[in-house]
Structure 1
């Protein structure tokens, strides 16, 4: 018997799921050593993003055994901390509508309760930001969200939050991972009952908290919306009604949760074609604004009518700049802080300086954005270019993670105010370009099947960094793996050029190499912003060509 077959037999003996047992038995009966190796040669690594991977049997898949072991490891780590109150440490668990999500949430509740911890379970599939909000609202020591966000239908995942309502960061991820490694067979874990299933009051508390956002009083805006087959529609519609906005028109084919995501190749509003149906609905209904959430509704995509009669999908950096200025104009105090990441536009720093507040840059991920403040800072806005935003009012951000529902409300408020003033979001973007210079950004992404190609490409860039990119001299190369500017080490490279910048890093959740391009062009008095934008886009195209050549990927 091969080692993989032995491991598979041991897995079968403890697996509580008949579907994955059948899958594994079929592989064993077929003698498919390659399939066994794929499932048992390694395991899903638990990190700051928790767990994420393909559904199936074995330690290198998302399944009930993997989830129960993760829950047991989280319980063991929580028991090392003093309980927050006399009732002991509590964990709140949420889940989306993906394949297996509810079952994984119930298994987690049973394991955590069996470990002696207090558990709250969300009443139904709900957006990730509701779970992140609930951690602080309930005073929980931790939170778990079962979701794979915008990954393909075959995937699921497991996000972990700590008592501050933000996702975990090192060294906590390594400590939990070490506890997971100590977990034995899951059929020997004590399983409990009697956890608390929350009611709709947790959603209402979240909606009430969103009322602290700077929404103004303009409400005349028509919105076309899609939840992309995810769990965002109900909460977003209630949020719009709560705030007094007209009900959005919803894409009927994508309105209900569907874990197979039948109308899109990838359920990510950043992917080409993902927003085609909502753009079609917007054109047919005469909408002023298009909004799309990803399946767990922590991201928010925005499109607006363009001056040529078509639709313009705004980049995350463009929405981030608009929302940042909106929040700063509606809040007060020199202690305000706005935060973005090293791969996002440098525009946020210029906006912060103009408003006399502090800005900061972090590594990618809201787990870092939420921890960027110094003592005395009041975080009122954070964003990352991948369509993630967290906004707040004078008492700070509402959710300590990206919040696609809150962002949708804030964008609707901004669009309604612009409409009242006889203007559009495109006009506001042009205003920012004149005020701060046009900060044009663009992504370059390589999706691979062989993860080794990503490591090879990064090694090539480190060994022989290009001296010129896009016709500009590379003045400096920052290897962020050594920690730069006080940032924790991360596998990324930053190339700095006159009025331009490129950052390259592997994705933390998908088999992709991601590149982030930026050029900055001043806009002279009376100069046409559209002409400046055309020049900037041509510069970005040249950067793309040179970078693709340097990476050796296609």
Structure 2
């Protein structure tokens, strides 16, 4: 077992020649921390549910520049089109921007090596994951080019030492099972042998940020306005917290379109911060109220009866309401039932007979 581990470490060092990694691995070897070394190196990080996610650090089992490039190379090898764009977004976590730059460089290198015109469209600032999906789906309207895929670098709701990459197909959906299997197989094939390293030399080429974000957000706001146009304007005050995440600008767009009377910010949680200093656990779906304490205090101070929160990358939502018994935090199922009731009433009033499908995950 130790012989296999030592061999794997040597293979890794051929891909990752950084001084930080050398010092880290040498220190662990010197301290005989074989269990931790094994956790870093074995097995190769799992690809599933459309991407990779894990603790950031050196080794095949962790999220790092090498494994992000391995994923990007593997995905590029499944692209059948000769021309198109790949949208790339990232959240505010440590290393997210570097990982996004690695993906952009990999797409450029892939095009060079295969004589294709596949260009990266890396967004110039942090975005929620929905913006990448939306851009993929609407690429013709945004940049007059076909989208062949998208990447979102995000640790989602995981603790602060995690990060990951989510992949989308050209329609903005999670890649299908057959393509996922191809990517998984190709990632394994890109693990080096004793003689050969398969990751490309990417060099220091600077990738210019995409100019398409403004067009994406303009179209996104138009879509929000269309969706909310027939909804009644609400005169409800609310308190909002982004959990130190990246959704502030985008929630402002939505609440403006919805016509909420006043949305009060939670000052202590408004700034993007990858350390999440004021919350115990950044999964917004957690049913307990403790992660909403700052928002609740703000609401009590301003005499506001509604609090809502978004997950750090915008993929989750939580709402709470103050009633005569105190604060009630709505579960995902409760929020889904309320939304379903609204949709059914709306369709009933218009005598629309088509079915309403409302998936819910607890």
TM-score (ref. length: structure 2): 0.86
C-alpha distance in 2 between matches for 1:19 and 1:233:
35
C-alpha distance in 1 between matches for 2:227 and 2:127:
21
Please state if 1:315 is matched with 2:331.
yes
Please state if 1:155 is matched with 2:162.
yes
Instruction: Please state whether the residue corresponding to 1:290 is helix, strand or coil.
Output: strand
Aligned to 2:343: 327
CA contact (8 A) 1:269 1:292 kept: yes
Aligned to 2:266: 251
Aligned to 2:278: 263
C-alpha distance in 2 between matches for 1:358 and 1:219:
27
Aligned-pair CA distance for 1:10: 2.2
Aligned to 1:483: none
Of 243, 247, 262, the match for 1:228: 243
C-alpha distance in 1 between matches for 2:207 and 2:154:
24
Instruction: Please state whether the residue corresponding to 2:167 is helix, strand or coil.
Output: strand
Moved more, 164-173 or 128-137: 164-173
- CA-to-aligned-CA distance 1:406-445 (integer Å, 9 cap, x gap): xxxxxxxxxxxxxxxxxxxxxxxxxxxxxxxxxxxxxxxx
Of 192, 210, 214, the match for 1:197: 210
Aligned-pair CA distance for 1:233: 1.3
CA contact (8 A) 1:68 1:186 kept: no
CA contact (8 A) 2:343 2:356 kept: no
Shift in alpha-carbon separation, 1:204–1:25, aligned structure 2, 3 A: farther
Aligned-pair CA distance for 1:242: 4.4
Of 83, 86, 95, the match for 1:91: 86
Aligned-pair CA distance for 1:152: 0.7
Aligned to 2:361: 385
Of 154, 163, 186, the match for 1:179: 186
Aligned-pair CA distance for 1:82: 3.3
CA contact (8 A) 1:316 1:385 kept: yes
Aligned to 1:478: none
C-alpha distance in 2 between matches for 1:235 and 1:358:
30
Aligned to 1:36: 37
CA contact (8 A) 1:320 1:385 kept: no
Aligned-pair CA distance for 1:328: 3.9
Aligned to 1:68: 69
Aligned to 2:302: 285
Please state if 1:141 is matched with 2:148.
yes
- CA-to-aligned-CA distance 1:49-106 (integer Å, 9 cap, x gap): 411111111011111111010000010011xx234xxxx0321111100121111000
Aligned-pair CA distance for 1:28: 2.9
CA contact (8 A) 2:81 2:148 kept: no
Aligned-pair CA distance for 1:327: 3.0
Higher relative contact order (CA 8 A, sep 6+): 2
C-alpha distance in 2 between matches for 1:161 and 1:144:
6
Aligned to 2:115: none
Aligned alpha-carbon RMSD (Å): 2.5
Of 222, 225, 228, the match for 1:208: 222
Aligned to 1:437: none
CA contact (8 A) 1:39 1:57 kept: yes
Instruction: Please state whether the residue corresponding to 1:188 is helix, strand or coil.
Output: coil
C-alpha distance in 1 between matches for 2:22 and 2:217:
37
CA contact (8 A) 1:65 1:186 kept: no
Query: What are the equivalent positions in structure 2 for 1:493-532 lying under 5 Å apart?
Result: none
Aligned to 1:358: 355
Instruction: Please state whether the residue corresponding to 1:164 is helix, strand or coil.
Output: coil
C-alpha distance in 1 between matches for 2:76 and 2:261:
44
C-alpha distance in 2 between matches for 1:12 and 1:25:
11
Aligned-pair CA distance for 1:143: 0.9
Instruction: Please state whether the residue corresponding to 1:120 is helix, strand or coil.
Output: strand
Query: What are the equivalent positions in structure 2 for 1:361-372 lying under 5 Å apart?
Result: none
Instruction: Please state whether the residue corresponding to 1:197 is helix, strand or coil.
Output: coil
Shift in alpha-carbon separation, 1:359–1:243, aligned structure 2, 3 A: closer
Aligned to 1:459: none
TM-score (ref. length: structure 1): 0.57
Instruction: Please state whether the residue corresponding to 1:237 is helix, strand or coil.
Output: helix
Shift in alpha-carbon separation, 1:217–1:17, aligned structure 2, 3 A: farther
CA contact (8 A) 1:237 1:247 kept: no
C-alpha distance in 2 between matches for 1:21 and 1:258:
29
C-alpha distance in 2 between matches for 1:158 and 1:3:
28
Aligned to 1:104: 99
Aligned to 1:113: 108
Aligned-pair CA distance for 1:187: 5.2
C-alpha distance in 2 between matches for 1:270 and 1:36:
33
Aligned to 1:56: 57
CA contact (8 A) 1:16 1:64 kept: no
CA contact (8 A) 2:224 2:257 kept: no
Aligned to 1:274: 291
CA contact (8 A) 2:45 2:52 kept: yes
Query: What is the number of equivalent residue pairs in this alignment?
Result: 339
C-alpha distance in 1 between matches for 2:22 and 2:198:
14
Of 320, 344, 348, the match for 1:303: 320
CA contact (8 A) 1:89 1:140 kept: yes
> Which ranges in structure 2 are unaligned for 5 or more consecutive residues?
112-117, 140-145
- Give the strand-richer structure, 1 or 2: 1
Aligned-pair CA distance for 1:120: 0.5
